[in-house]
Amino acid sequence: MYYELQPLRIQAGWKIQYNRFTEYDIEIHGLNDLLELNEDLLQLYNEKANLIIDLGWYPSHSIDGLVKNYKWDCPLEQITSKSKREIIACIEKWTCYDFFVKYSNR
């Protein structure tokens, strides 16, 4: 089955490095399309703030996996969840200037 990219409300200033984050939701669509779940789902970069948001499913293609959003060596914020709604809410919150400005002067 083909899934559209997941709509997200992202404020200006973020560049999409890659986007394979689709509307597939394991809770709604079941286990038939586990290939949608991979380690490289979405990466956003804000040059001015020098911040990266990295979204992936670990381990890839596994029902036991989890979505993780982190910077590899020392995350400033992190979420681990199977809830698509929760992941979307965090991405939209983290890309909001009022939220990430606290990390701009690090």
Asked whether the beta carbons of 55 and 69 are under 8 A apart, the reply is yes
Separation CA 78–CA 4 (nearest Å): 26
**Low-confidence residues of the chain, pLDDT below 50?**
66-68, 70-71
The predicted model scores a pTM of 0.84
Whole-number pLDDT of residue 66: 46
Whole-number pLDDT of residue 63: 61
